[in-house]
């Protein structure tokens, strides 16, 4: 199991597309957005959390792309004819996803602290990282659902649509404050908005709201069911 | 578990996909240590048979057993290694990483260096799997199949898309593994491969085993020899009634008689004064294969042809001659 995790993490980190799209892009966008716009430090902190969340969502969804690829090349099928139980394969993939979101989170937070001079207490840095890490689980499940259901190419497209759509709607790129009222209301129900809010609350010095946890919890259940259904439906022809 | 238990046993196994009976009642047993070829044209049911064997799909009827247990259990116990068809290289891992990982799943694997050597890829160990040639990739997949030192190794069309040289290198590796006393089952649509590398050939056609024996037995069953002669204006009528003759085929003014007894056939032809440009040759395995599988045969009068609809269960006993039905 650990061997499998190690193997898949290695494969993910050797994926140039992942390293550029999942780690370098959020960092660059963060630095770009914060240094083009106004100079207020609140935006630098807010955007840092937003972009770290965006990077984490992208990396989490990327796990699903990996699954679709593995299905297409017959790697999952090959694993099925080794003694490794299928549920370990699924679990191993989910855990891979949860590990590979870390670089994006850490990289964006580092850019905030080191380049943009964001100042937070040590517990705040730690809490933001951990909350963003845990909060990315629903997105890993969404990616796995796509990966088990769709072909390699459509998974890529579906993941990108989910990623960009949810990022923009959730206010990861632009502050929700700039949205019209109706969009702001809608945004409050997106998983990405509440996901970033976990970190945002901590940056503002208080605990995440019950609303954020509740909405994310509902999405966790939805995406989790989606992943399980996709896996069951296609388990026979991995 | 005794030493005499069978490695593979199919009992009336059936698998349908929609209206297609991909596997239509297969009965056979494979003993430990045998190297067996599953020979058939594309679409004959070879890959479905292998998927059933590995427990990747369940039969609609009948049973499949590996080492006396359901396939999934034998796979989980690490008694099986497989090289699947149409599997491509796993991207972004090195050969050593991949083989080490797979070996680590098995209870008593081969040392990785030994697996690499058997597959002939020691010098590729540090290379990325997705940056190898087709032949090299195929041997990496072979190393993956044998890494766990499984008692049974299953190779689905292992040499498809390989050039002649890569093919030779591959079979040399395969023989090395089989010599260690392991059971090997491979599928192929190359007659020469089945003939050269298997102890026993199962000919599959339309989801059934239509013949079971050594290459030599297959050749004999198809009619031991071919007798060819110029018709020189004669009609071919009546030639099929000559002693030994099993079938007659006329092409370009020459008659080709497939016969069980070429001496008797030639003497009878001489009696008719029909010998013109006579040629007597042993039947090739190609002829045997065409005779055994339907579709490409030119014969109209083969005895036993009506037996096609019979159950092919006569082929169950391992070293026995070919079933009557063929």
DSSP string, A216-231: HHHHHHHHHHHHHHHH
Cα(first)–Cα(last) distance of chain B, in Å?
Answer: 35
Q: What tokens appear for A114 in the block?
A: 């080191």
Contact B84 A73 (CB under 8 A): no
Which of A14, A83, A84 shows the shortest C-beta gap to B77? A83
Between CA A184 and CA A32 the distance in angstroms is 24
Between CA B278 and CA A40 the distance in angstroms is 102
Between CA A82 and CA B81 the distance in angstroms is 7
The hierarchical CATH code for the domain B223-282 is: 3.30.70
Predicted confidence (pLDDT) at residue B4 exceeds the cutoff of 60? no
Report how far apart, in Å, the C-alpha atoms of B303 and of each of A129, B208, B228, B249, B313 are.
79, 19, 20, 15, 19
Average pLDDT over residues B87-92: 86
Cα(first)–Cα(last) distance of chain A, in Å?
Answer: 19
pLDDT of residue B259: 86
Residue, of B223 and B204, whose pLDDT is higher: B204
User: Reduced to 3 states, what is the DSSP secondary structure of residue B228?
Assistant: strand
Identify the weakest region by mean pLDDT among A95-99, A228-232, B20-24, B196-200: A228-232
pLDDT of residue A213: 94
**B78 CB near a chain A CB, below 8 Å?**
yes
Residues B49 and B204: beta-carbon distance below 8 Å: yes
**B86 CB near a chain A CB, below 8 Å?**
yes
- Burial bucket for residue B185 (CB in 10 Å: 0-12, 13-18, 19+): buried
Question: Which of A159, A155, A185 minimizes the C-alpha distance to A68?
Answer: A155
Predicted confidence (pLDDT) at residue B316 exceeds the cutoff of 80? no
pLDDT of residue A37: 63
Per residue in B225-242, pLDDT (tens digit) is 889 999 888 888 888 889
Between CA A227 and CA B31 the distance in angstroms is 42
Average pLDDT over residues B217-228: 79
Tell me which CATH homologous superfamily contains domain B8-218: P-loop containing nucleotide triphosphate hydrolases (3.40.50.300)
Angle CA(A43)–CA(A45)–CA(A48) in degrees, nearest 5? 100
Name all contacts of A164-173 with Cβ < 8 Å and 24+ positions apart. A166/A57, A166/A190, A166/A191, A166/A192, A167/A54, A167/A57, A167/A192, A169/A193, A170/A53, A170/A194, A170/A195, A170/A196, A171/A50, A171/A196, A172/A50, A172/A51, A172/A53, A172/A54, A172/A57, A172/A196, A173/A29, A173/A33, A173/A50, A173/A54
Predicted confidence (pLDDT) at residue B153 exceeds the cutoff of 60? yes
Which of B57, B76, B144 shows the shortest C-beta gap to A78? B144
pLDDT of residue B162: 79
Q: What tokens appear for A129 in the block?
A: 């990282």
Contact B148 A81 (CB under 8 A): no
Q: What tokens appear for A101 in the block?
A: 């979101």
B101, closest residue in chain A (CA to CA): A3
Check if B8-218 and B223-282 are the same fold.
no
Question: Which of B197, B175, B201, B150 minimizes the C-alpha distance to B30?
Answer: B201
Residues sharing a CB contact under 8 Å with residue B30, sequence separation 6 or more, in sequence order: B6, B7, B8, B9, B36, B183, B185, B318
Residues B140 and B129: beta-carbon distance below 8 Å: yes
Q: What is the DSSP letter of A114?
A: I
Residues sharing a CB contact under 8 Å with residue B266, sequence separation 6 or more, in sequence order: B227, B275, B278, B280
Predicted confidence (pLDDT) at residue B309 exceeds the cutoff of 50? no
Q: What tokens appear for B244 in the block?
A: 């030994």
Per residue in B95-145, pLDDT (tens digit) is 999 999 999 999 999 999 999 999 999 999 999 999 998 888 989 999 999
State the pTM of this model.
0.82
Contact B97 A7 (CB under 8 A): yes
Q: Which residues of B touch A88 (CB under 8 A)?
A: none
Predicted confidence (pLDDT) at residue B30 exceeds the cutoff of 90? yes
Contact B78 A83 (CB under 8 A): yes
Alpha helices by DSSP H, listed for chain B, are 46-53, 71-76, 95-105, 112-118, 134-146, 164-178, 191-197, 215-221, 262-272, 285-292
**Domain locations in chain B?**
8-218, 223-282
Mean of all residue pLDDT scores within chain B: 84
pLDDT of residue B222: 67
A74, closest residue in chain B (CA to CA): B87
Q: Which residues of chain A have pLDDT under 70?
A: 37-39, 235-238
pLDDT of residue B47: 92
Rg (CA), chain B: 23
Please state, as a whole number, how many other Cβ atoms lie within 10 Å of the Cβ of residue A82: 25
Alpha carbon B196 to its chain centroid, in Å, reads 11
Question: Which of A56, A85, A60 minimizes the C-alpha distance to B55?
Answer: A85
Residues B150 and B79: beta-carbon distance below 8 Å: yes
pLDDT of residue A36: 77
pLDDT of residue A58: 93
**B97 CB near a chain A CB, below 8 Å?**
yes
Q: How far is B298 from chain A (nearest CA, A)?
A: 39
Q: What is the DSSP letter of B313?
A: G
Which of B54, B86, B106 shows the shortest C-beta gap to A74? B86
What pairing do the DSSP bridges indicate for beta strands B200-205 and B35-39?
Answer: parallel
pLDDT of residue B313: 35
Between CA A130 and CA A34 the distance in angstroms is 23
B144, closest residue in chain A (CA to CA): A78
CB-side neighbour CA atoms (13 Å) of B149 = 11
Q: Which residues of A touch B77 (CB under 8 A)?
A: 83
Q: What is the ipTM of this complex?
A: 0.88
User: Reduced to 3 states, what is the DSSP secondary structure of residue A169?
Assistant: helix
Please state, as a whole number, how many other Cβ atoms lie within 10 Å of the Cβ of residue A196: 29
Name the most confidently modeled range: A36-40, B45-49, B319-323: B45-49
Rg (CA), chain A: 18
Predicted confidence (pLDDT) at residue B184 exceeds the cutoff of 90? yes
Contact B92 A84 (CB under 8 A): no
Q: How many CB pairs below 8 Å do chains A and B form together?
A: 69
- Whether the CA torsion B186, B189, B190, B194 is positive or negative: it is positive
pLDDT of residue B326: 34
Which of A4, A7, A73 shows the shortest C-beta gap to B88? A73
pLDDT of residue B108: 95
Contact B87 A81 (CB under 8 A): no
Q: What residues in chain A have their Cβ under 8 A from chain B's Cβ atoms?
A: 3-4, 7, 10-11, 14-15, 69-70, 72-75, 77-78, 80-85, 236
């Amino acid at each position: 199991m650990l061997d499998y995790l190690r193997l898949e993490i290695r494969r993910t980190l050797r994926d140039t597309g992942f390293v550029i799209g999942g780690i370098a892009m959020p960092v660059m966008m963060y630095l770009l957005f914060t240094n083009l716009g106004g100079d207020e430090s609140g935006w630098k902190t807010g955007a840092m959390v937003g972009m770290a969340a965006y990077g984490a969502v992208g990396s989490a969804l990327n796990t699903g792309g990996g699954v679709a690829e593995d299905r297409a090349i017959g790697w999952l099928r090959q694993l099925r004819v080794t003694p490794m139980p299928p549920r370990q394969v699924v679990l191993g993939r989910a855990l891979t996803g949860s590990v590979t979101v870390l670089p994006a989170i850490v990289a964006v937070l580092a850019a905030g602290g080191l380049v943009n001079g964001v100042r937070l207490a040590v517990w705040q840095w730690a809490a933001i990282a951990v909350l963003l890490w845990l909060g990315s689980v629903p997105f890993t499940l969404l990616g796995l659902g796509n990966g088990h259901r769709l072909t390699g190419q459509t998974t890529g497209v579906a993941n990108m649509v989910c990623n960009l759509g949810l990022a923009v709607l959730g206010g990861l790129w632009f502050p929700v404050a700039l949205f019209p009222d109706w969009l702001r209301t809608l945004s409050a129900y997106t998983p990405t908005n509440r996901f970033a809010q976990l970190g945002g609350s901590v940056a503002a010095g208080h605990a995440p709201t019950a609303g954020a946890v509740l909405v994310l919890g509902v999405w966790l259940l939805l995406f989790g069911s989606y992943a399980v259904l996709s896996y069951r439906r296609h388990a026979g022809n991995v | 578990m005794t030493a005499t238990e069978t490695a593979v046993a199919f009992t009336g196994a059936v698998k349908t996909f929609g209206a297609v009976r991909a596997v239509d009642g297969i009965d056979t047993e494979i003993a430990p240590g045998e190297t067996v070829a599953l020979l058939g044209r594309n679409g004959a049911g070879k890959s479905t048979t292998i998927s059933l064997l590995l427990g990747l799909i369940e039969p609609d009827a009948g049973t499949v057993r590996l080492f006396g247990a359901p396939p999934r259990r034998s796979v989980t116990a690490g008694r099986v290694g497989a090289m699947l068809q149409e599997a491509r290289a796993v991207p972004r891992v090195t050969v050593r990483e991949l083989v080490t990982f797979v070996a680590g799943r098995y209870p008593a694997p081969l040392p990785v260096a030994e697996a690499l050597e058997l597959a002939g890829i020691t010098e590729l160990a540090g290379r990325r799997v997705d940056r190898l040639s087709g032949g090299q990739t195929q041997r990496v997949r072979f190393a993956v199949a044998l890494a766990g030192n499984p008692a049974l190794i299953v190779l689905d069309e292992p040499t498809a898309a390989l050039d002649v040289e890569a093919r030779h290198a591959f079979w040399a590796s395969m023989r090395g593994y089989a010599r260690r006393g392991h059971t090997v089952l491979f599928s192929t649509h190359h007659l020469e491969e089945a003939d050269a590398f298997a102890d026993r050939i199962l000919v599959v056609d339309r989801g059934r085993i239509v013949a079971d024996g050594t290459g030599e037995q297959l050749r004999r069953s198809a009619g031991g020899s071919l007798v060819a002669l110029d018709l020189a204006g004669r009609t071919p009528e009546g030639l099929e009634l000559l002693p030994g003759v099993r079938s007659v085929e006329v092409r370009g003014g020459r008659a080709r008689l497939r016969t069980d007894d070429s001496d008797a056939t030639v003497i009878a032809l001489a009696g008719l004064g029909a010998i013109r440009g006579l040629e007597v040759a042993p039947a090739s395995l190609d002829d045997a294969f065409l005779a055994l599988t339907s579709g490409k045969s030119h014969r109209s009068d083969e005895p036993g042809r009506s037996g096609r609809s019979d159950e092919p269960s006569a082929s169950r006993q391992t070293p026995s001659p070919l079933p009557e039905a063929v």
